[in-house]
Amino acid sequence: MSIWKRQLTLEELNRTSKGTMVEHLGIIYTRLDDDSLEAEMPVDSRTQQPFGLLHGGASVVLAETLGSMAGFLTTREGQCVVGTEINASHHRAVASGTVRGVCKALHFGQSSQVWEIAIFDARGKRCCTSRLTTATLG
């Protein structure tokens, strides 16, 4: 059974990124299952820090992008979701390629949600774990 209340295709999700930081960083939604949302982000000059590694802030952008969109997909018409807190633990460096974020719900309440976003390198090794708390408005 799906947790999503809004039914959007991957193509529709990716269209929401036009003209935003999400598009600028090259984040693309790649998978929408009954209980998870995934996206990929390139590790390139847009997302690397000066020493050539994936910038921790870029990982956090990927995590918040996934958690916020997942939160939106669980709301009804007239509601919206805003992030209230995010944290990230960086486990290993990534210098090139693509990273993949996998977002799953940890908690659904009437006014708040908590999402875990695991980010993996191209070899499937976890490089970051993030948790996003959102407030549901409306």
Q: What is the pLDDT of residues 35-92, one digit of tens each?
A: 999 999 999 999 999 999 999 999 999 999 999 999 999 999 999 999 999 999 999 9
Residue 121 has pLDDT above 90, yes or no: yes
Q: What is the pTM of this model?
A: 0.97
pLDDT, mean of residues 8-29: 98
pLDDT, mean of residues 9-22: 97
Catalytic status, residue 64 = yes
Residue identified by tokens 């993996």 is 120
Q: What is the 3-state secondary structure (H, E, C) of the chain?
A: CCCCCCCCCHHHHHHCCCCCHHHHCCCEEEEECCCEEEEEEEECCCCECCCCCECHHHHHHHHHHHHHHHHHHCCCCCCEEEEEEEEEEECCCCCCEEEEEEEEEEEECCCEEEEEEEEECCCCCEEEEEEEEEEEEC
Domains of the chain, residue spans = 10-137
Write down the architecture of domain 10-137 according to CATH: Roll (3.10)
Identified catalytic residue from 12, 38, 64, 85? 64
- Residue 110: per-residue pLDDT: 86
Average pLDDT, the chain: 97
Q: What is the pLDDT of residues 107-119, one digit of tens each?
A: 988 899 999 999 9
- Residue 49: per-residue pLDDT: 97
